[in-house]
Chains A and B, each alone.
Chain A
């Protein structure tokens, strides 16, 4: 699955990022690296951007970009789904 499908309040692990190099570098600098935990905090209305947290950094990402970030979801008890 990808980041745009994650439910608010849910946590997942970044599996892969599939974008051009410029975007990937920016994402990396903001903490989006393979294997890191990512939390979806909220979605804006009308297909607006997503509000996510990685570590202590909070970021807004547009849905189009979020679709390129692939995740492995963790179930509520912490195990990999």
Chain B
């Protein structure tokens, strides 16, 4: 994962949603596949608007898709 502190579970969520492809998610969220790639690698922190749009695609809240900080720290808490 990249240097950004905003992490996400997009890869897992795609898999859980009928193995949705990056392109399908990109089309539904209104971005390019490159942006989904960057998000999954942790190379980009999305805008609040995009975070909402991605969460809506999975029918989840933002906190269920994105987290702040290292995910291992989060699970340890």
Q: A and B: real partners?
A: no
Interface of B toward A, CB cutoff 8 Å? none
